Amino acid sequence: MIRGLRGAITVGRNEEAEIQAATERLLRKMIESNRISPDLVASVFISATHDLTAGFPARALRELNGWKYVPVMCMQEMAVTESLKMCVRVMMHINTEKGQKQLKHIYLEGAKVLRPDLNEEE
The mean pLDDT value for 2-30 works out to: 97
DSSP designation for 106: E
Known catalytic residue at 74: yes
Ordered strands of the 2-10 beta sheet:
72-76, 41-48, 87-95, 2-10, 106-108
Indicate if the pLDDT at residue 121 is higher than 80: no
Is 59 noted as a catalytic residue in this protein?
A: no
Q: Catalytic one among 3, 16, 59, 74?
A: 74
Measured between alpha carbons, how far is 38 from 19 in angstroms, rounded to an integer? 22
Q: Is 28 a catalytic residue?
A: no
Does the annotation count 87 as an active-site position? no
Domain locations along the chain: 2-118
- Is the domain 2-118 a CATH 3.30.70.1560 member? no
pTM value is 0.93
Of 3, 6, 25, 59, the active-site residue reads 6
Q: What is the mean pLDDT of residues 77-101?
A: 94
- Whether the pLDDT of residue 28 is over 50: the answer is yes
CA angle 65, 109, 2 (to 5 degrees): 50
CA distance 77 to 79: 6
Portion of the chain with pLDDT greater than 70, in percent:
97
